[in-house]
Amino acid sequence: MIKEKEITCILCPNGCDIKITYTSQEIQGIDGATCSKGNDYAKQEFENPVRTLTSSILVKGGDSDLVSVKTDEPIPLEKIMSIMEILKTFEVKAPVMVGDVLLENPADLNCKLIATREIKRK
């Protein structure tokens, strides 16, 4: 049986509505994208959506209690909550510089957690 899934391309303001037709998880056709970037995006979104996770973690001895962080690579959407679980209890010490690697391979994922904000010592 052929099924359909609608995906809105978010890569540019055109916001093309892309239709993916598929049978038991195999893509039959991708329709509606104005440019080829949209086809790639729709395929990725269909097969394995990935997101950059941004959050904040506790920092000790700094001019702020929190330092904002992000993953250096987009990670599978389904893994986001398991990283949040790790971040809940994770803590670093001031000072922190923008770009510092704070954690490598959280939840065995191939990514690093990096600081997005400077925290000075108190």
Partner 1 sequence: MMKRELVIIGAGPAGLAAALAAYDNGIRDILIIEREKRAGGILNQCIHDGFGLHKFKEILTGPEYAYRYLKKVQERKIEIMTSTIVTELRAEKYLKVINEEIGILEFKADAVVLAMGSRERTAGGISLPGERMAGVYTAGLTQNLMNLQNIKVGNNIVILGSGDIGLIMARRLTLEGANVKAVLEIMPYSNGLNRNINQCLIDFNIPLKLSHTVIDVKGKDRLESIIVTEVDENLRAIPGSEYEIECDTLILSVGLIPENELSKQADVQIDDITGGALVKDNLETNVPGIFACGNVLHIHDLVDYVSDEAENAGQAAAKYIKSGHKWRKNNIFVEAGDGINYVIPQLITLGKDLEFSMRVKKPASDKTIKILNNNELIAKNTFKKVNPSEMIKINLAKEKLLSLKTASIKVVVE
Footprint of partner 1 (CB under 8 A):
8, 10, 13-16, 34, 49, 51-52, 54-56, 58, 64-66, 68, 70, 77, 80-81, 84, 98, 116-118
Please report how close the Cβ of residue 50 comes to ligand SF4 at its closest, in angstroms: 16
- Integer angstrom CA distances of residue 65 from 16, 46, 54, 70, 84: 41, 39, 17, 17, 18
Nearer to partner 1, 80 or 103 (CB): 80
Q: Give, as one character, the DSSP assignment of residue 96.
A: B
CA angle in degrees (0–180, nearest 5) for 105-111-112: 75
Handedness of CA 56, 58, 59, 61 (dihedral sign): positive
Please report how close the Cβ of residue 25 comes to partner 1 at its closest, in angstroms: 20
Which residue in the set 4, 6, 23, 35 belongs to the binding site for ligand SF4 (CB under 6 A)? 35
Which residue in the set 4, 5, 6, 15 belongs to the binding site for ligand SF4 (CB under 6 A)? 15
